[in-house]
Structure 1
Amino acid sequence: MGAGHSHTPQGHADPTPQALAARKKANLILAAILIPLTLLTLVAMALLWPSGSKEGITLASPYAAAPGVTFDTGKIQRVVTGSCMDAVPQTGADAAPQQGSECIFAFTDPDKGGSPVKVVINPDVAKSHGVKVGDNIRYLNLSKVQGAESQGTPAYVFVDFVRTLPITFLAVLYAVVVIAVARWRGLRALIGLVGAYGVLVAFMLPGLVEGKPPLLLALVGSTVIMIGVLYFAHGFSARTSTALLGTMFGLAITALLAAWATDAANLAGVGSHDSATLANISDNISISGIILCGLIISGLGVLNDVTITQSSAVWELWELAPETSARQLFTSAMRIGRDHIASTVYTIAFAYAGAALPVLILVMLYERPLGDALTSAELSEEVIRTLVGSVGLVLAIPVTTLIAVLVVKATGLKAAGTRPAGMGSADAAPRLEDDAAGPADADRDAPSGRRGRRAAVRA
């Protein structure tokens, strides 16, 4: 390279003293805003913290075994089809299935040792997925229950598959891939994810059970999660703080829309068996409140993604061309933001469509009118979740961009030295527009255009 040029890639040179000074001043400006907001959030979290009491909740767990009944595990050795009469002792023939009906049996080797046992496979499992030799299953052991024989009850009944090995494998693979590609930042993100779920399990879920205000609970819990995740994964910097401010704005918009939509659309959760179960176990649990909280939580991941991207884009563009006006900087960064908006809209829509696929198939088979289907109890919650989350994240992009532009300009440093070594002002300004502009903007960036003339004047 010629004299005076950096031996590092353009835009990635070590920051100059002027750039470091600009970042320091930006951090002070953002700290003056974020520290009071963080303290207010922590105080609200302390006031809303649940007691952990489950008084007044009556819930019979389906995983609790009656006296003499155990949940055992084992590996299937062979699978046979036979008469359902074979599932029960002959002493219970009066209560046994009718002659001629067929059942699927899995001879299973118990993990605790002993002779193989004959496990009855549920008809729905046998039809939808089936069982095969080598599968690890969990089954109900009724062989020691008094009176089971006289009632015609099978001694061993399938409960579920044991999925420990494949889920552990996928979790380890995910962690390895994330750490291998993103390195220490990826590791910090994984640790932050564990912390986020800790807040969800220790604060938000018990709070909903105790009847805490769902809107405040969701806002406070989500803000704490975002503060921890953003700073832990991306470090303490002006970029991260700018993204956090944009995220808080997006959360506020999402919360307001979710609160309005939950009430206006009468989201009562009546179409869900789990919601009906929760509604009947305690007077403190509000299904509408749970839905409201879910609407806010569901968009956290994508919201974090778009805000940190926009913040980084603004700072990179500014450090390449610090003399660029605030208006030009905002316009250039929003070109990136518009591409991001287009992709994230599809991300949210297809994520929720995939989760609701069984319901969508049923709606198709029922041949209901599209309008009736989308506003039905089965689909309305997913539709509103998609719309509310999308509005929040789309509005967060220009707000985050504007905050980042205002912060970088508020540093007050014209910074001829903030650009990487070897880049003059004539080099920096065109680089800003070339990086940000897409093919559709090429005509506007031509020398004969208005922007081209401004670039020529600056040069």
Structure 2
Amino acid sequence: MSAHHDADLRVGRTTSAVLWALVLAVAAVTLTGLVVLRPDGDVVRATRVENPYAGLRLVDGTVSGTRALPCDQVGTESGGEGVVPADPGGEAGGLPGGGPGGVASDCAVAVVEVPADGGTASAEVPVPVEVVRAGLGAGDPVRLAVYPAQDGVPAAYAFVGYERRLPLGLLAGLFAVLVVAVARWKGLAALGGVAVAFVVVAQFLLPALRTGGPPLPLALVTASAIMLPVLYLAHGVSARTTTALLGTVAGLAVTAGLAAWATGAAHLDGLVSDEDFELSRLTTGAGLGGIVLCGVVVAGLGVLNDVTVTQASAVWEVKAHAPHLGVGALFASGMRVGRDHLASTVYTIVFAYAGAALPTLLLVDLYAQPVGQVLTGGDVAEEVVRTLVGSVGLVLAIPLTTLVAALVAARGRPVEQPESDGPAAGDRRPVDAVTT
């Protein structure tokens, strides 16, 4: 960052030194947190529970048909050899009872073509009625758990779920190809940043939460450990990127502090479903408020990074086109962009969380609960807090980042561009946002 080209600005040595000092301070605190908060490996292994599929072989099959029959006949018909009457913990969740549109006394059986002796064989496998009603039919690829044959009893199969590797792989491949095609090396670097984020979450945050680590420091260290490499990978090592990083760190501090207060004040213990109670029993034995807190911080990380990068870039562009502007004018121009961005980003956050909570909202609608009761209920209240806390951090990050960017850019000077790259620096005219 020292006295080098940064977009169209050259940043001085003093400014660069201050920025580097701040970055190194953030990096030092982050590294210290990673070392201090990382749980002992033996403790992490001791908290793992037995995999319900341990020792079982999973196979892929293709459904050739489905039918319903009384549950007490599952596995008893002449064609029912190789059928087990229970799901071992997959997405099916067990055989269902009744419900709207269902038949309480019936179970569903799928006839599945499975690999056998170099060819295929048909096996009847019980599946939840709801899965069949949702669209399971001939030609669908599924995953089955195989219970090996023993003591004269033939091999048995249990429904685990749909086989989704092919469509998910194609979708991920399409996404990666388009990102690289449009953004080129920056797109490739951004994908690398996503990989870094997954490693940090999987290798640090999840084990630390599982062993009862302090949620607030974990949330901040995790977010910082993700942002430091991701921002520089995606946007390059520059004063502009560092400005965005500092704005992101400030927004994260606000978001984490507010999330810690909100989860405590609203008594968000994270216990809103059977899975939550099971998770609490297997991990902390208490509420999951700390996990809710970390979720709020991590969920807002991407949008927060988006606005800080945009604000820094906006100020840089204004300065490059109007090199005579000082801190005040740069801040005012950057905030004009920030207000428009903020207006669209806030409802983007709301829509994203509303989409994620749509099944819950549909249940609420079915039961016709009063709005006040709905908004203060545990499951919806978590989404409300997540939306409001993330939005507050976002709102405050925009002026903070814009101010830091204006202070840095005001001390820089435009870099002369070659004739082939466009108009010379002296021919540049202020953009409309500056002259208004």
* TMscore range, shorter length: 0.7 to 0.9
> Any conservation in 2 of the 1:330–1:402 contact (CA below 8 Å)?
yes
Distance in 1 (CA, whole Å) between partners of 2:179 and 2:426 is: 38
- 1:77 deviates by 2.5
**Aligned match of 2:114:** 110
> Any conservation in 1 of the 2:112–2:122 contact (CA below 8 Å)?
yes
Distance in 1 (CA, whole Å) between partners of 2:152 and 2:281 is: 31
**Aligned match of 1:257:** 258
**Aligned match of 1:356:** 357
One-letter code aligned to 1:79: T
Change (3 A) 1:90 1:316: closer
**Aligned match of 1:5:** none
**Aligned match of 2:63:** 76
> Any conservation in 2 of the 1:56–1:282 contact (CA below 8 Å)?
no
Distance in 2 (CA, whole Å) between partners of 1:88 and 1:416 is: 78
Change (3 A) 1:319 1:264: same
**Aligned match of 1:200:** 201
TM-score (norm 2): 0.84
Distance in 2 (CA, whole Å) between partners of 1:338 and 1:248 is: 20
> Any conservation in 2 of the 1:77–1:107 contact (CA below 8 Å)?
yes
**Aligned match of 1:10:** none
Task: Write out aligned runs for 1:89-128 (5 A).
Answer: 89=76, 102-112=106-116, 113-127=119-133
One-letter code aligned to 2:250: F
Aligned residues with identical type, % of pairs: 44
Structure 1, residues 153-182: CA drift from partner, whole Å, max 9, x if none? Answer: x95442211111110010101101111111
Task: Write out aligned runs for 1:291-370 (5 A).
Answer: 291-370=292-371
Distance in 1 (CA, whole Å) between partners of 2:139 and 2:69 is: 20
Distance in 2 (CA, whole Å) between partners of 1:192 and 1:331 is: 32
**Aligned match of 1:22:** 11
Structure 1, residues 370-395: CA drift from partner, whole Å, max 9, x if none? Answer: 11101101200011000000100111
> Any conservation in 2 of the 1:349–1:386 contact (CA below 8 Å)?
yes
Is the aligned partner of 1:39 residue 2:50?
Answer: no
Where does the alignment leave 5 or more consecutive residues of structure 2 unmatched? 86-94, 96-103
> Any conservation in 2 of the 1:307–1:397 contact (CA below 8 Å)?
yes
Distance in 2 (CA, whole Å) between partners of 1:300 and 1:284 is: 28
SS at the partner of 1:322? coil
Distance in 2 (CA, whole Å) between partners of 1:404 and 1:81 is: 65
Distance in 1 (CA, whole Å) between partners of 2:125 and 2:407 is: 68
> Any conservation in 1 of the 2:330–2:406 contact (CA below 8 Å)?
yes
Structure 1, residues 242-284: CA drift from partner, whole Å, max 9, x if none? Answer: 0000000000000000000010000011212222112112447
> Any conservation in 2 of the 1:107–1:118 contact (CA below 8 Å)?
yes
Tell me the C-alpha RMSD between the 2 structures: 3.2
> Any conservation in 1 of the 2:47–2:211 contact (CA below 8 Å)?
no
> Any conservation in 2 of the 1:76–1:108 contact (CA below 8 Å)?
yes
SS at the partner of 1:54? helix
Distance in 1 (CA, whole Å) between partners of 2:262 and 2:174 is: 39
Distance in 2 (CA, whole Å) between partners of 1:17 and 1:63 is: 53
Where does the alignment leave 5 or more consecutive residues of structure 1 unmatched? 1-14, 438-444, 446-459
> Any conservation in 1 of the 2:141–2:163 contact (CA below 8 Å)?
yes
Change (3 A) 1:146 1:363: farther
Structure 1, residues 129-169: CA drift from partner, whole Å, max 9, x if none? Answer: 221222111224457377999xxxx9544221111111001
Change (3 A) 1:19 1:176: closer
Is the aligned partner of 1:136 residue 2:141?
Answer: yes
**Aligned match of 1:452:** none
Change (3 A) 1:111 1:393: farther
> Any conservation in 1 of the 2:61–2:112 contact (CA below 8 Å)?
yes
**Aligned match of 1:87:** 74
